[in-house]
Amino acid sequence: MKAEHGMTFSPILAHGALGAFDELLLVAVAAAFVIIMAVSWLRTRRQPDPPSEDAIPQDAETSSEHRDDSEERFKLD
């Protein structure tokens, strides 16, 4: 594809049947991907942090419905 000034444009990244338009499509898709990733990253930065593991109440951590020596538990060999 010749430019108006007599310089030849050769595709660098894409060499398909569309010629120079392959290059434009590849760059457009890459730009769209970067924009979508940036928007996703910005949205997650605005959300509050999830609760940490330290926020688990002590009762839920230490309570158990079954005793260790109950018959409902299988013994390991």
pLDDT in tens, 31-58: 999 999 999 999 999 888 777 766 655 5
pLDDT at res. 20 = 73
Name the H helices within the chain. Answer: 20-46, 58-62
* Cβ 44 vs Cβ 37: under 8 Å: no
How large is the average pLDDT for residues 20-38? Answer: 91
Among 35, 37, 15, residue whose Cα is nearest residue 26: 15
How far apart CA 28 and CA 26 sit, in angstroms, is: 5
pLDDT at res. 16 = 72
pLDDT at res. 73 = 72
pLDDT at res. 47 = 86
Higher pLDDT, residue 19 or 24: 24
- Cα separations in angstroms, 54 against 45, 48, 57: 22, 16, 8
How far apart CA 25 and CA 11 sit, in angstroms, is: 12
